[in-house]
Amino acid sequence: MMEPYAIHFAPLQGYTDSVYREAHAQVFGGVETYYTPFVRIEKGGFRNKELRDIAPDENTFALPVPQMIASSPEEFRRIAGLFRESGYRCADINMGCPFPMQVRQHRGAGILPYPDEVKALLETIFEFPEIQFSVKMRLGWESPDEALELLPFLNGLPLSHLTLHPRIGMQQYKGETDKDGLSRFYGQCTLPLFYNGDIRTLADIHALTGRFPCLRGVMLGRGLLSSPWLAAEYRSGNLFTAEEKREKLFAFHALLVEKYSSRLEGGEHQILDKMKTLWDYLLPDAEKRLRKKVLKSSRLGDYQEAVKNLIYDTSITAGQ
């Protein structure tokens, strides 16, 4: 029997911090690799929030792969040096972020139209032989041909794998993913390849791997934020019952409240603000009335009661 495809958890700024990753690994699991949101150079240095997120003592249960975003070999060296000093031996290079603030600096997807800059950036990996690098990228910034033109160069690098999100950066997250662009890239890529983009159900995973069987695996982002059991169901081959999903969700949420309460120093309102971001994606089909009570809660006790009602009163279908 063929080994199931690997499941990686995509990094999402503001959501998948170390508290979230650790809690997800403890309660749900099923993920082979978690990634940190990207580390960058800003105003000449590192952000304290990002330093804390990759600190080894904040990542004891699910050791992540730290991700960097950089536009030059100089930025690359500083960030890779930080990863090395922190004890990491794997790292991911972001060439897919579509956010204008990064793109304007030729970071993320913004570097893809400049092949000479891409080559100078990625050749810096040879200065860090103790780190195994991977790359997450889009089909391009303006054109899907940008990634294809870079592919012969990428194929020649000692990368552990590539992860492709088959949209161009200018799309942001709008419109359909470009399966034809993916097919062309897939046909010419000699590195292990992961797919990322708009996977929300087990059926989506099976449809994708059925069409592209030589994929190494898939990277899930919003699909896991909305259905955090998805990776575990896929890896185990066993569907959770509706009651199992409720119990795990409740335990997951309680663990997040506990950990954020011990980390955040701004009191109850800061904890509430942080916890409410979960509901940007979690259980998107929950009844609006129940979701509104969660989001309108102004006291932590009221919020927790509203969440309990939402989890146990929402129709959760087994196997979806």
Cβ neighbours of residue 153 closer than 8 Å, sequence gap 6 or more = 115, 118, 119, 122
Residue with tokens 């992540």: 64
Residue 298 CB partners (closer than 8 Å, separation 6+):
272
When pLDDT is cut at 50, 70 and 90, the band that residue 317 belongs to is: low
Share of residues in the chain with pLDDT > 90 (%): 92
Quick check: helix, strand or coil at residue 301? helix
> Which tokens is 13 given?
């700024």
Class of domain 6-236: alpha beta
Q: Which region holds residue 63: left if phi is over 0, alpha if psi is between -120 and 50, else beta? A: beta
Global pTM reads 0.95
Whether residue 3 is predicted with pLDDT greater than 90 in this model: the reply is no
Task: Give residue 279's pLDDT band: very low, low, confident or very high (50, 70, 90).
Answer: very high
Q: Dump pLDDT digits (tens) for 12-51.
A: 999 999 999 999 999 999 999 999 999 999 999 999 999 9
Residue pair 67/53 in contact by the 8 Å Cβ criterion: no
Ranges of H-type helices in the chain: 18-27, 48-54, 73-85, 100-103, 115-122, 145-155, 179-188, 202-211, 222-226, 230-236, 242-263, 268-276, 288-296, 300-313
